[in-house]
Amino acid sequence: MTREEFVKQCAKMGIGISLFPGLLASCSEEETPVVAFSGKVLIIGAGSAGLMAAYTLQKFGIDFEILEASDRYGGRVRILENFADFPIDIGAEWLHTSPSVFGELIDDESATGEIDMIPYKADTMYRWNGDQLRRFNIVSTYYGEYKFKTSTWFQFFDQFIAPKFLDKIRLKTPVVGIDASGDQVVVEDDQNNTHVADRVIVTVPLTILKNNFINFRPSFSRPKQAAIDKSIMPAGIKVFIKFKEKFYHDIVQVSVDGLRDSERIYYDAAFRKGRQDHVLGLFAAGEGARELTDLEDDNVIIEAVLDELDQIFDGKARQHYIKHVVQNWSAEPFIQGSYSFGGENYEDTIDFLLEPINDKVFFAGEAMNKDYWATVHGAGLSGIETAKEVLRRP
Amino acid sequence: MNKNRIFTTFFLVLLAAFAQAQPELNKASIGYFSHGGIHPGGKIGAEYVLSEKMKPVSEVERKISLLMNPQIGGFIRENFYTGILVNNELGLQRQRTDRKRYSIYSIGLGYLHFVEVVDYTVNLQGEITNKTRENRPYFFPSVNYALGRDIGERFGIYGKLTYGMRMTSARENATQLFVEFGMKLGLNN
Ligand SMILES: Cc1cc2nc3c(=O)[nH]c(=O)nc-3n(C[C@H](O)[C@H](O)[C@H](O)COP(=O)(O)OP(=O)(O)OC[C@H]3O[C@@H](n4cnc5c(N)ncnc54)[C@H](O)[C@@H]3O)c2cc1C
């Protein structure tokens, strides 16, 4: 039995893990005790990884606080309400794995609650090459993901995760320095306030690490710095447009500059939600997004999007247009892009990205999950794993 | 020609072929049948010989058989859909008398039925607690290619590709691919 299995087994038997960490340590078959750490942890960033790290520490009765730069928690998981007759995920929207992952994230046999899901397999799939709209419905045989039906990714965190420690999330606190050279770690925010803890879990996006927004002391090891420099987190944007009529297909993939694998898709955001409103979503990342995110402002972006839609659908976009919202993730000061794009030998790169500083500053986030990088659940699982890693070390 | 007329004509041709010939039940087949090559299932079928003729090829002969191949298959894609295909094919089998290998080119007309999962509820342990399903029937004309090999007197193996269009007036047509591997058992003496 592995340690994970053992912990699960204890939970099933009703043994309160947070009440008996010492008991767990003595039960473990592994040499490293499960909870060898007691002290304070600071989590930097309240996205999926940060929230799940906090949720895990809370379970084990560890003292912690989350410092979040923006005025809300969720990170790249964000909700848009009152735009249509259903809530919209204006950041991450799809579940790119089996819904059984909710069980893995919550990891609590006694938790109660339900989530309505849609098996997301579009019926009508097209590709736009800048000139012609071509049907490629056969792809739906191979394509399939999941989506929330009545709620959103944000509501998953808002309902089932964050309420357990809302009082421990400190918003509008951008961290600018982390000093792990002493006995304790000293974290400095942009108002020159210092926060002291025994361990720190950093869950900020790759871009924030790449552009040295946070000053680390001691600085990263060479391989870690090289891994950060090598990693890519390109542009990302989402646009939602409400129309009077549904004149579009379930999915239209746009080939940008002949790049077939560019991520730019228009999709029916109301697909199988059983609602009245017609909302078309645009999701773009990488090169497919940059053409838009580089534009001057949201007004210019929406004009470019409507131009493209009018081209694809013979002028129907402007004819049926009601309203829109643009979420330019590249322009968000504490995100600055979409998600990590992997690349060659990315799994090895992740080992370096995860490398702690002085065994006191640990890392987690979507870019650091070997199995599911670039996803919400991957970020969440990475947060859980890093929190457990902190617990394992005295 | 609209798609209903194509179906009707094709169906009548199949019926006529079957009625005029004196079909002889030749083989039964059983195989692994998959939607798109990845969503697994199974299929059983029968093979009737409608007519047969020999054609000389250099020093040997090639047997050309007109076959009728009714079949039924099922497949599943977990959490997404379950499907049934009832299909009848009319095909030409070509086999040199000195070779064990043969190929069959056929056209088929079938009824494809999907039971699609449209939504479901997941509890916080990640278990699916309640599924809503929807029936979706389609016509399914197809072209097929099979490659087979006789291994003994009454036994053989085959692999087959089915490429077709699922059609209904309720929604847009979509091409479908099925991949099949199986064995055939000879039934006549
Ligand atoms: C347009 C778009 C669409 C996507 N679609 C999907 C999808 O459909 N499905 C899916 O699974 N994934 C999707 N993703 C990816 C997914 O959103 C991310 O992988 C995941 O949410 C990242 O979680 P995280 O916790 O690693 O990072 P984040 O969510 O970015 O959280 C990091 C947090 O750190 C904060 N922060 C940054 N700097 C500082 C600082 N200096 N001090 C304090 N706090 C700081 C940020 O404000 C943020 O709240 C999408 C992403 C984008 C951009």
| CATH superfamily of this structure's domain A32-75+158-232+341-392 | FAD/NAD(P)-binding domain (3.50.50.60)
Is the distance from the beta carbon of residue A379 to the nearest atom of ligand 1 less than 6 Å?
yes
pLDDT at A22: 32
Rg, chain B, Cα only: 19
Interchain contact, A124 vs B172, CB within 8 Å: yes
Burial track A89-128 (b if 16+ CB lie within 10 A, e otherwise): bbbbbbbebbbebbbebbbeeeeeeebbbbbbbbbbbbbb
| Among the partner residues A109, A138, A272, nearest to B174 by beta-carbon distance | A138
User: Is A150 an 8 Å CB contact of chain B?
Assistant: no
Interchain contact, A114 vs B118, CB within 8 Å: no
Domains in chain B and their CATH numbers? 2-186 (2.40.160.20)
pLDDT at B14: 66
Cα(A264) to ligand 1 centroid in Å equals 19
pLDDT at B189: 61
Is the distance from the beta carbon of residue A339 to the nearest atom of ligand 1 less than 6 Å?
yes
Burial track B149-186 (b if 16+ CB lie within 10 A, e otherwise): ebeeeeebebebebebbbbeeeeeebbbbbbbebebee
Backbone phi, psi, residue A252, to 5°: -125, 115
CB atoms within 10 A of CB A278: 19
Task: Count residue pairs from A and B with Cβ separation < 8 A.
Answer: 86
Rounded-to-integer distance, Cα A280 and Cα A316, Å:
13
Measure B82 CA to nearest chain A CA, in Å: 12
Report the alpha-carbon angle A310-A314-A319, nearest 5: 65
Rounded-to-integer distance, Cα A39 and Cα A96, Å:
35
Is the distance from the beta carbon of residue A175 to the nearest atom of ligand 1 less than 6 Å?
yes
For B116-127, the pLDDT digits (tens) are 999 999 999 999
A234-338 is a CATH 3.40.50.620 domain:
no
Is the distance from the beta carbon of residue A209 to the nearest atom of ligand 1 less than 6 Å?
no
Domain segments of chain A as ranges: 32-75+158-232+341-392, 234-338
Q: Tokens standing for A136? A: 């490629």
Is the distance from the beta carbon of residue A288 to the nearest atom of ligand 1 less than 6 Å?
no
Is the distance from the beta carbon of residue A234 to the nearest atom of ligand 1 less than 6 Å?
no
Burial track B94-127 (b if 16+ CB lie within 10 A, e otherwise): ebeeeeeebebebbbbbebbbebbebbbbbbbbe
User: Is A140 an 8 Å CB contact of chain B?
Assistant: yes
Q: Tokens standing for B29? A: 């087949």
pLDDT in tens for each of the 189 residues of chain B? 455 566 667 666 666 666 666 677 889 999 999 999 999 999 999 999 999 899 887 788 899 999 999 999 999 999 999 999 999 999 999 999 889 999 999 999 999 999 999 999 999 999 998 899 999 999 999 999 999 999 988 999 999 999 999 999 888 899 999 999 999 999 876
For each successive 10 residues of chain A (394 residues), what is the average pLDDT? Answer: 34 33 35 75 98 97 97 98 98 96 96 96 90 86 91 98 98 98 97 98 97 97 95 95 97 77 88 96 93 95 98 97 98 96 84 96 96 95 97 91
Rounded-to-integer distance, Cα B104 and Cα A369, Å:
48
Interchain contact, B122 vs A102, CB within 8 Å: yes
Under a CB-based contact definition with an 8 Å cutoff, are residues A210 and A231 in contact? yes
Rounded-to-integer distance, Cα B135 and Cα B150, Å:
39
Interchain contact, B118 vs A98, CB within 8 Å: no
Interchain contact, A99 vs B122, CB within 8 Å: yes
Helix (H, G, I), strand (E, B) or coil at A390: helix
Write down the pTM of the prediction. Answer: 0.88
pLDDT at A259: 60
User: Is A134 an 8 Å CB contact of chain B?
Assistant: no
Burial track B11-40 (b if 16+ CB lie within 10 A, e otherwise): eeebeeebeeeebeebbebebebbbbeebe
Measure B145 CA to nearest chain A CA, in Å: 18
Cα(A76) to ligand 1 centroid in Å equals 3
pLDDT at A18: 32
pLDDT at A389: 95
Half-sphere exposure (Cβ direction) of A199: Cα atoms closer than 13 Å:
27
Interchain contact, A138 vs B118, CB within 8 Å: no
pLDDT at A260: 53
Longest dimension (CA), chain A: 69
For chain B, the straight-line distance linking the first and the last C-alpha, in angstroms and rounded, comes to 44
Going from the C-alpha of B46 to that of each of B26, B83, B93, B164, B187, the distances in angstroms are: 8, 20, 14, 20, 10
| Among the partner residues A99, A109, A137, nearest to B174 by beta-carbon distance | A137
Interchain contact, A117 vs B121, CB within 8 Å: yes
pLDDT at B153: 85
Rounded-to-integer distance, Cα A267 and Cα A310, Å:
15
